[in-house]
Amino acid sequence: MIIEKLTSLEEAPIELLLLADPSRKLVKKYVTAGECFLAKKNNEIIAVYVLLQTKPNTIEIMNIAVAEKEQRKGIGKEIIGHAVEYARKQGYLAIEVGTGNSSIGQLALYQKCGFRIVGINHDFFVRNYEEEIIENGIICRDMIRLERKLT
């Protein structure tokens, strides 16, 4: 697998990004403002993530998505590791990520990758998404905020 930074915004794999975030409007906004990385296998895009500086010395994983046929193969863990190393090399002191309260697998993955829960943005998904999101039989209402120190 090769991970490379996107050089042209026109190439952003929007449909893949929508697997992790159903808001086309929000996805386009942070893809335009942030840095997009593609994971490729045999010249096919199998995963993507977007980083955006959100405050001084802190960068956030705004979106991370793995193609459905490639899930459960360790690719998510590998690209999170890539994001962490990229952020460290850029001189950031922390990397953050937010995920839904209903995203059980993602919450476990981030914690396995060294992230710790630092807060909850109550009703984030209710305020920012027109349609109700249900995952794992749970209504997605709150954003769980996680952080990993890079020092």
Q: Is the pTM of this model over 0.85?
A: yes
Q: Which residues are 121's β-sheet partners? A: 143
- pLDDT at position 1 is 92
- For the chain, give every domain's residue range: 2-149
Q: Would you tell me which CATH number, out of the four given (1.10.150.120, 3.30.230.10, 3.40.630.30, 3.40.50.720), belongs to the domain 2-149?
A: 3.40.630.30
Each residue of 98-109: pLDDT tens digit?
999 999 999 999
Q: What is the mean pLDDT of residues 128-147?
A: 94
Each residue of 33-91: pLDDT tens digit?
999 999 999 989 999 999 999 999 999 999 999 999 999 999 999 999 999 999 999 99
Asked if the model's pLDDT at residue 8 lies above 80, the reply is no
Asked if the model's pLDDT at residue 145 lies above 60, the reply is yes
